[in-house]
A and B are shown apart, each in its own frame.
Chain A
Amino acid sequence: MSFQFESVASFIAMNGHGSFVWAAYGITFAVLAYLLISPLLQQRQFFRTQKRLMRIARK
């Protein structure tokens, strides 16, 4: 098993298929990242809202 490309430039170009391959990978990993960040933000938002409600309830 060895690296299939002679240079970094040819790795990026992928014999003319570079734009297709890199676009597909870029979109995929952007979506995957969103799927992890989104629930974490929801959770943080939940705690912040509840904290505020708790303070109001105490007053």
Chain B
Amino acid sequence: MAWQWFHRLGSPRWFYEKTQPWLAWLALLTLVLLVVGSTWALGFAPVEAKQGNSYRIIYIHVPASFLALAGYYIMAVSGAVGLIWKMKLPYMVMKSAAPIGAALTFVALITGSIWGKPTWGTWWEWDARITSMLLLLFLYLGIIALQQAFHSRDTADKASAILALVGTVNIPIIYKSVDWWYTLHQPATLKFIGESAIHSSMLYPLLVMIAGFYCFYALALLLYTRAEILRREHRTQWVADLVGKFAKGVQ
């Protein structure tokens, strides 16, 4: 009995039907948080003494970087669950996490580059943090490529899961890079233990933006996973019923 929820969670149909009512709420929450956060960040947070207004890029750069890393964990853990328990759904989540993670890593790199120009006087530097983030982007792209490289669905999933797990080595390197190689990138703004290096008037909009990006990530992952579920389960009766409803114009 205790394991029943776990097996249900592994059922693509159960997941597809359960997450349906969450989508609208999650979309609304994401929209409110991102609109409030951006307005606060762009217009109401005080100007930074040294960097001026260019620092306002932090409000998208830090949340995007957070999710780029958190998304990698989600992808690797899903891959591991798929490998260990041989479930279908975790592999679908893993595949869905790859394009979202790649896009967010791209956003982190591009906003960092745009921020670097007025602050450091350069678009790009082979600094430890930047280089390890670029490696993260290549890992995500590698997963996307592996997914398409095999004819067998099962082989593609297993190979991707193994690459994702091997790539987790890069994550602590990214976190620690600003401390180990103190070069150009500034140290972490937010700390889990101790005081953050940021005043509360600048911190609160950042927290709103991080919450907004987390909600956005959850929404995007659900949407990608649902589309993937339909494609992989297209031979099942319940998907055929959904198509039937769609054909009648119900959906």
Contacts and interface: CB of A to CB of B under 8 A. Distances in A.
Main secondary structure of the interface of B (DSSP, over half): helix
A31 B43 contact: no
B191 to A, nearest CB: 24
Contacts of A36: 27, 219-220, 223
Contact of B231 (A31, A46, A54): A46
A40 B230 CA distance: 12
Contact of A39 (B43, B60, B224, B240): B224
Interface string A17-38: 1101101110110011011101
Contacts of B182: none
B107 interface: yes
A17 B54 contact: yes
B45 interface: yes
Contact of A17 (B38, B53, B61, B227): B53
B114 A20 contact: yes
Interface in B198-251: 201, 216, 219-220, 223-224, 226-227, 230-231, 234, 239-240, 242-244, 246-247, 251
A31 B107 contact: yes
A32 B115 contact: no
A4 B43 contact: yes
Interface size class of B (residues with CB under 8 A): 35 or more
Main secondary structure of the interface of A (DSSP, over half): helix
Contacts of B117: 20
Contacts of A40: 223, 227
B42 A43 contact: no
Nearest to A34: B103
B187 interface: no
Contacts of B231: 42, 46
Contacts of A31: 103-104, 106-107
Interface in B42-90: 42-47, 52-54, 56-57, 60-61, 64
Contact of A15 (B53, B106, B114): B53
A22 B75 CA distance: 31
Interface of B: 27, 34, 38, 42-47, 52-54, 56-57, 60-61, 64, 96, 99-100, 103-104, 106-107, 110-111, 114-115, 117-118, 201, 216, 219-220, 223-224, 226-227, 230-231, 234, 239-240, 242-244, 246-247, 251
